[in-house]
Chains A and B, each alone.
Chain A
Amino acid sequence: MHTVIIIGGGPAGCEAAYQLASDGIQVHLIEKNNETGGNLNNWYQLFPDRKNAQDLNKRLQEQLNHPGITLHLGMEPSRVEKDGQGRFSVSLSDGSLLEGDALLVATGFKTFDAKRKEEYGYGIYENVVTSVDLENMFRNHAIRTSKGDVPRRIGIIHCVGSRDEKVCNFHCSKLCCITGVKQAIELREMLPESEIFCFYMDMRMFGPGYEEMYREAQEKYNIKFIRGRLSEAAENREHQVQVKVEDTLLGRPLRVTLDLMVLLVGMEASNETQGMARELGVKLAPSGFILPLDPHYGNNLTGEKGVFITGCCSAPMNLTDTLNDARSAAVCITRYLNMK
């Protein structure tokens, strides 16, 4: 029987583990945290269907009860080695050693550190939060300003840490646009009296049901969309956030004072993704994510034989695509093992 070692227990790693195990392959799933789920643990509701993110998480966790899966929680791979026969041995942080016939990297992404956009004042201005902070507020059902008031005017800022050479991220993080729309709707539902803006450059509604959700945000929820990238924010005496954008479709600068400003932080390759790439000698794209062997036919393959990738370690992806990508990786690995 073949054994596969999966590094990373987010949605991609979990789904791939289940698919491989269902095909009769022995799976070791390594997760650095004490629970699986990765970034999904930080999410409240999913787009576009507004499903509770933790329901999906639970389902993925339940799948891991499969007898073919061995879970290694709270573990990090300290060393990965490959022998001449194409077998991998992975040393874990507790000193134990795993062996496998293939390696699947599912180390995912991290969200952009908003402090790096200094002019937005995250970590300095009191009422500037990230989309991740906002999900947390949703979970606690408490959308309040630093003074504890209900925010009357909220601005959602697109492209924070994405499409921005200044922070060395040329890529589009793809999910922020729809996240912004989703969060705007959730805010409106919790705070029906508040005025909500999205400041965007392009509305990239790439997934099924996304454009419809954008339309709904306008029609049903009266969310205001202004095409102009945030140039700078400043705090006034009342700790409100004064923002400066250009209303580019009118060609005039626009100033508005917000009670709460939400930064839609983009996605970057996680430290573990970068570390694994170094360790395994696989190539990184200019975006910092792992470069697949071929963007069409080999998106789960790397230049290294027996090393596969899945999920957001190779590019920003939504959950649907991540789960598909995990199944696709499972197919590739199964075929690889059968030909061995």
Chain B
Amino acid sequence: MGDILKRLREDIHFMEGFNSCMNCGVCTAICPAAEFYNYDPRVIVETVQRGDEGEIEELLKSDTIWYCGECMSCKTRCPRCNTPGLVIMGLRKVSQELGYFVHSEKGRQQYALKHVIGESVLKRGYCVTPDLVKPEMHPEQGPVWEWIYEHMDDFYDRVHGNLRKPGAGALRAVDAESMDELHRIFDVTGGTEFLNQIESYSREKAEEEGTDLEEGYFLRTYMENSGNHQ
């Protein structure tokens, strides 16, 4: 058995998500990603079922595995109790461990996600906080959000928030001890290493392209869309 298959078979998501597939298509029929991307979860499961290492490597380097939105609608329906969404989580993990994600446009976005979400978790103790939803990065949030963003301190006070202040309440500052514990959990469980791995593969790619990781490369991964995804 090749290295990729071995890694997949050790992955809990893959183990739980993949039994055997009869190609019935119920997953694709209701998949939001199949509706709007050139994506077919049935074909993903069929590919891993065939078990061809080369074919799976190609998959890990492609845009395809990054189209899924992990809504897990597929789990409800599969008559063989597979979960293509969990198979995707396994494939994405291995793609990132082996550095294959930087080969595709959608895969490279993992750097943007690491930058936006990963760092927010480690700095604020939350995945999202109001100051991170910058109106220029989120035009779709609209003028009300823009206004809230500009008057954040006054505004959150009005709706019972406790923005960046100690104590309980929405949007409070997480205390230093809890943040330390969160960091140590990331260190002990491999979370920090995983984020660093994404960063180092991305850095290599950025250097290869001669762009600055945190500026040019980040913006590219955040905004680039070749339009070849349907």
Contact = CB atoms under 8 A, between A and B. Distances in A.
Q: Answer whether A and B touch in the complex at a CB cut-off of 8 Å.
A: yes
Interface of A: 119, 159, 163-166, 201, 227-232, 244-248, 251, 253-254
B25 A246 contact: yes
Contacts of A229: 24-26, 29, 79
Interface in B25-56: 25-31, 34-35, 40, 42-43
B25 A228 contact: yes
Contacts of B34: 246, 253
B152 to A, nearest CB: 41
B77 interface: yes
Given A201-B22, A229-B24, A251-B43, A165 B29 contact: no
Contacts of B78: 165-166
Given A244-B29, A246-B34, A253-B29, 13 more contacts: A119-B76, A165-B78, A165-B80, A166-B79, A228-B25, A229-B25, A229-B79, A231-B26, A245-B29, A246-B25, A246-B26, A248-B25, A251-B42
Interface string B128-150: 00000000000000000000000
Given A165-B80, A166-B81, A230 B26 contact: yes
Nearest to B31: A253
B23 interface: yes
Q: Which of B25, B31, B40 has the most CB of A within 10 A?
A: B25
A228 B79 contact: no
Contact of A232 (B22, B35, B77, B79): B77
Nearest to A248: B25
A254 to B, nearest CB: 8
A163 B81 CA distance: 11
A248 B79 contact: no
B81 A228 contact: no
Contact of A251 (B24, B27, B35, B40): B40
A228 B22 contact: no
Given A201-B22, A228-B24, A246 B80 contact: no
B23 A248 contact: yes
A243 to B, nearest CB: 9
Contacts of B40: 246, 251
20 contacts: A119-B77, A159-B24, A166-B77, A201-B22, A201-B23, A227-B25, A228-B25, A229-B29, A230-B26, A231-B26, A231-B27, A231-B29, A232-B77, A244-B29, A246-B34, A247-B25, A248-B24, A251-B28, A253-B29, A253-B31
Contacts of A201: 22-24
A248 B28 CA distance: 9
Nearest to B80: A165
A228 B81 CA distance: 17
Contact of A165 (B25, B30, B79): B79
Nearest to A162: B79
B34 to A, nearest CB: 5
Which 3 residue pairs across A and B have the least CB separation, nearest first?
A246-B25, A231-B29, A229-B24
Interface in B203-225: none
A163 B79 contact: yes
B133 to A, nearest CB: 32
A200 to B, nearest CB: 10
B22 A165 contact: no
A248 B30 CA distance: 13
B37 to A, nearest CB: 11
B42 A248 contact: yes
Contacts of B28: 246, 248, 251, 253
Contacts of B31: 253
Contacts of B22: 163, 201
Contacts of A163: 22, 79
B26 A165 contact: no
Nearest to A229: B24
Nearest to B19: A165
A159 B34 CA distance: 23
A295 B226 CA distance: 58
Contacts of A247: 25
Contacts of A248: 23-25, 28, 42
A197 to B, nearest CB: 14
B29 A246 contact: yes
Q: Which of A159, A164, A227, A229 has the most CB of B within 10 A?
A: A229
Contacts of A159: 24, 79
Contacts of B24: 159, 201, 228-229, 248
B30 A244 contact: yes
A231 B34 CA distance: 13
A27 to B, nearest CB: 42
Nearest to B36: A253
Contacts of B76: 119
